[in-house]
Structure 1
Amino acid sequence: MTHTTNNSNKLASAHMLPDAEGFFGPYGGQAIPPHLKVIMDEIAAAYLQIRETQAYQDELTQLYQHYVGRPSPIYFAKRLTEACGGAKIYLKREDLNHTGAHKINHALGEALLAKHMGKSKVIAETGAGQHGVAMATACALVGLPCEIHMGAIDVAKEHPNVVKMKILGAKLISVETGTRTLKDAVDSAFEEYLKDPDNYFYAIGSVVGPHPFPMMVRDFQSIIGREARQQFPEMTGKLPDYVVACVGGGSNAMGLFSGFLDDEQVKLVGVEPSGNGLGKGEHAATLTYGTPGTMHGFHSYMLQDKEGQPDPVYSIASGLDYPSVGPHHSYLKDLGRAEYHAINDDGCLDAFMKLSQLEGIIPALESAHALAWVMQEAKNLGSETQVLVNLSGRGDKDADFVADKLKL
């Protein structure tokens, strides 16, 4: 089946997605064996049914408010703005959420869904550890066993989050195969899930994977965009000119973007990691340098070799080193509704330190990529331009690594 779209109505078509088969234009879908498709379709049906029930909505709303601490505030970074000498920089403070990042938004939704479906165990992958900590937290809350798969390199790099997951009661699997990073953690978690998909629930940590996960995770993360769409005009009198977020798999960006898809005057910017340069295995800038391909059960832009196998990838931010990206992002890129840029490790570290020392806010290395792009472009954008950056996580997990890297 060919999936086409009328670009003359691109905003509406970008917003009202995916279709019934899980496609965002030509991207997404379910590139999986028939027996697994049955399981995924059951999850999709259960999600679409359960999310409409008042009991589920009320429980999730109460948890967001009283457990996570939503709504997260928007903060005007005055000193950073002055230092950059241009656009006014505002931060959507997802770093203030319980567990320290946006990941708790979908982790609670998925854990509650697993509970309502009667699943016996939740399995998840994690890169930087924020999704792992959030899932371990959510599973402790709802009383479900949790197993987290994490690449061995990331286990060593993100030690604080590893300890948190264990304290929260999760079983941590250190993945020693392949590149020992996020892609291999996904492979390992999926292998475990396939042992008993009828009773296990695979809680994917971004807007990736086979349908319904890109839709589900986006829906849970859309609370970021809904809040920001209301908060920003109340604070400044108008909508932001730009909304900016880092993109690995793309969940925090999709959450923020979703609130502004219908506002054509608001520019959507995703920022990827160009790492150490453009050599193979030196970056993870999928949308900037990738081509359409299929991996992990869905079709999207990906970094791949001539045989269609995923390239090795790298980023200083463990949560961004993934060789594919959410299908909704791929579609927004093709439509021209969102633009995507890449920031290298040096730019990321500079933004990490400047926000810390000018505003007293230590950002996650992932979030620092988005901030770095804004800092570089601030003068070009001009002082009348207002930019909202999704500060998707805090940098507690990265502090020791950065201190060693910069010899502080």
Structure 2
Amino acid sequence: MRTPTQKGRFGEYGGRWVPESLVPACLEVADAFEKAWVDPGFREQLQTMLARHVGRPTPVTPAERLSAELGVRVVLKREDLTHTGSHKINNAIGQALLAKRMGKHRLIAETGAGMHGVATATAGALLDLPVTVFMGEQDVERQSHNVFRMRYLGAEVVPVRSGSRTLKDATSEAMRHWVSSTEEAHYCLGSVVGPHPYPWMVREFQRVIGDEAREQHGTVPDFVVACVGGGSNAAGTFAGFADTSARLVGVEAVGGSGATSGQAGVLHGSRSLFLQDEHGQILEAHSIAAGLDYPGVGPEHAHLRDLGRARYVAVNDEAAVAAAAQLARTEGIIPALESAHALAWVAEAAGTPELPAGSTVLLTLSGRGDKDIATLIARSEESRA
């Protein structure tokens, strides 16, 4: 996948659409990352920490019983087996190391499902950096398990009560807080969104997923599939296969389908595809998976869609819940509801011209489902009522 232009552009998307007061901070982060990423010492330190504290490399697991049911060969890249339980820790460790290198003394983060908040709190505890996490009030309620984990790790969790009280509003509040604290704090943004260099930087920290998967799988799969909210696990996965013949598929939630149904606009510091009304106002997103409850996608995903290099599809809540149950029943794995969206598309498309029988599918299981147990219990009770 490509390096953006000096202005942070992926085609017509990306850039740095921020208040003048944030431009110096963005430039500082860009300069620090560019220098760190070509520094063998920084790369070695990151690789060592990912091995010792995260558990990398994560395995690639053939899903044999699921494959037999679907008629396609499904192989899972197991980011659910990382320390903290999702891919978010790869980026959080990288940015925390960068913050120390920059001389920052505190981390700011936003979170939806809570996994990026937990990952940042973990990195902060490991590297002795205080952490403040902004989280929509609705997500605080439905992800109380992760709120406890963040606080137990020493982070301050700030409920955001504005707007839809979900990820979009938590991101807005985190960016506002960063404006007043750029001298001493680093904003550890959790996805491939936001102003340059974040979409590029987060993708590079997450490309360990795709690079490992490509080496572990050996041959090029027919399809590479990942769920997409902002899109960091998909961007990291796709980075390992963009120069191959593999067909890349990003799976969104129907209620947060920026790449599938969005229009070009600006939000959170970059130009990309967002759900908007006829007046260009950003619409509220909805998904049973808090991490997909975002009204757009990162700019590189928008560019990949326009190029035709990646295809983006949308799945509804019911299909995601059913796919989670199917994986649990066939493979003994309870996935995060975010990852279940990707599984649902595979289950729906298997054996059709979209995903022909006998195809090989490498799917990134971006997180485990511990955080979603209360939601799954509620859904089970509703179905029995």
Query: TM class, shorter-chain normalised?
Result: over 0.9
Q: Deviations over 1:12-69 (max 9, x none)?
A: xxx2221111000000000112331121011100111122223211211111111111
Tell me what 2:41 maps to: 55
- Report SS of the residue matched to 1:330: helix
How do 1:276-291 and structure 2 match up within 5 A?
283-291=255-263
Distance in 1 between residues matched to 2:181 and 2:139, nearest whole Å: 27
- Measure how far apart 1:305 and its partner are: 2.0
Tell me what 1:8 maps to: none
> Which one of the candidate residues 201, 215, 236 is aligned to 2:200?
215
How do 1:261-300 and structure 2 match up within 5 A?
261-263=242-244, 265-274=245-254, 283-300=255-272
Tell me what 2:241 maps to: 260
- Measure how far apart 1:324 and its partner are: 1.6
What is the letter of the counterpart of residue 242 of structure 2?
Answer: L
Distance in 2 between residues matched to 1:54 and 1:218, nearest whole Å: 19
How do 1:86-165 and structure 2 match up within 5 A?
86-165=71-150
> Which one of the candidate residues 159, 168, 182 is aligned to 2:167?
182
What is the letter of the counterpart of residue 246 of structure 2?
Answer: V
Q: TM-score, normalised by structure 1?
A: 0.92
Tell me what 1:192 maps to: 177
- Report SS of the residue matched to 1:89: strand
Distance in 1 between residues matched to 2:124 and 2:95, nearest whole Å: 9
- Measure how far apart 1:383 and its partner are: 3.8
Alignment partner of 1:248 is 2:229: yes
Q: TM-score, normalised by structure 2?
A: 0.97
- Report SS of the residue matched to 1:70: coil
- Report SS of the residue matched to 1:71: coil
The worse-fitting range, judged by mean Cα deviation, of 369-378 and 189-198 is: 189-198
Structure 2: runs of 5+ lacking an equivalent: none
Q: Deviations over 1:259-301 (max 9, x none)?
A: 11111x2000000001xxxxxxxx1111111110011110000
Moved over 3 A (4+): none
Distance in 1 between residues matched to 2:36 and 2:241, nearest whole Å: 26
Alignment partner of 1:66 is 2:52: yes
Distance in 1 between residues matched to 2:357 and 2:285, nearest whole Å: 36
- Measure how far apart 1:307 and its partner are: 3.0
Tell me what 2:324 maps to: 352
- Report SS of the residue matched to 1:294: strand
- Measure how far apart 1:203 and its partner are: 0.7
| Count of aligned pairs | 380
RMSD: 1.0
State the identity %. 50
2:222–2:247 Cα contact (<8 Å) kept: yes
Distance in 2 between residues matched to 1:162 and 1:98, nearest whole Å: 17
- Measure how far apart 1:194 and its partner are: 1.0
What is the letter of the counterpart of residue 288 of structure 1?
Answer: T
Tell me what 1:310 maps to: 282
Distance in 1 between residues matched to 2:25 and 2:279, nearest whole Å: 29
Distance in 1 between residues matched to 2:309 and 2:162, nearest whole Å: 38
Distance in 2 between residues matched to 1:121 and 1:308, nearest whole Å: 35
Tell me what 1:5 maps to: none
Tell me what 1:21 maps to: 7
What is the letter of the counterpart of residue 243 of structure 1?
Answer: V
Q: Deviations over 1:217-241 (max 9, x none)?
A: 00000000100111111xxxx2100
2:274–2:297 Cα contact (<8 Å) kept: yes
2:21–2:179 Cα contact (<8 Å) kept: no
Q: Deviations over 1:184-216 (max 9, x none)?
A: 101111111111212111111100000000010
Alignment partner of 1:166 is 2:147: no
Alignment partner of 1:333 is 2:305: yes
Distance in 1 between residues matched to 2:248 and 2:160, nearest whole Å: 35
Tell me what 2:18 maps to: 32
